[in-house]
Amino acid sequence: MKNSEKEKEVQYYTKERWDNWIQRVKESNFQINGEYGSNTEIFVNMMDDVILPCLKVVSEYDEKKIVSDDALRAISGISEIVLSDVAAINEDIDMMIQSLQYSLLCALVSCESYIRGGYDTKTPILNLIRNAIDIEEKNPEQALEYISTVGARILSGESMPDILFDVPDGLVAEWLDGVDSIVAALTLSM
């Protein structure tokens, strides 16, 4: 990889930035407290801090400031940073970071899917979600593809419909959190 390509990748998101968030989480002494709730704001902020650079990559791709290969390389660079193993901190924080990483995985794959194109534009979004729920345990890769297709379609300008059915706890629910973060960031940027 040329230096200029590496510099372009680094400007979107850096390992130092991610490590800073991990340090802040450690210092937060976060605990899940069923009786009084938990302050998950730091994790929401971490998510937003990753989603916004992803959306910047997508925007630059849309505006033809970067080509698809460079956009995919930038998303891959972000993925390498935020999906890497994080040293154990404590049970509650570890669980929240894992949840965050599952959500980020779907958001990142959604960006890649959008940039690559060729994703399903015909199946209703709610059907994609139902299909993902139905096969989550047997075929998680296909379930992720369904939910990342939802994310890609949101990036293409479609609206996220209200989900009026139960989404059980599990990977699909985590991945939908990633799509919801894309929706929230896009709404704020309008």
pLDDT digits (tens, 9 = 90+) for 55-98: 999 999 999 999 999 999 999 999 999 999 999 999 999 999 99
pLDDT at 84 (0 to 100): 97
pLDDT digits (tens, 9 = 90+) for 118-133: 999 999 999 999 999 9
Q: Choose the most confident range, by mean pLDDT, from 1-15, 26-40, 100-114.
A: 100-114
3-state secondary structure of 165: coil
Distance of CA 61 to the CA centre of its chain: 18
149 burial via Cβ count (<10 Å: 0-12, 13-18, 19+): buried
pLDDT digits (tens, 9 = 90+) for 165-184: 899 999 999 999 999 999 99
pTM reported for the whole predicted model: 0.91
Question: What is the pLDDT of the chain when averaged over all its residues?
Answer: 92
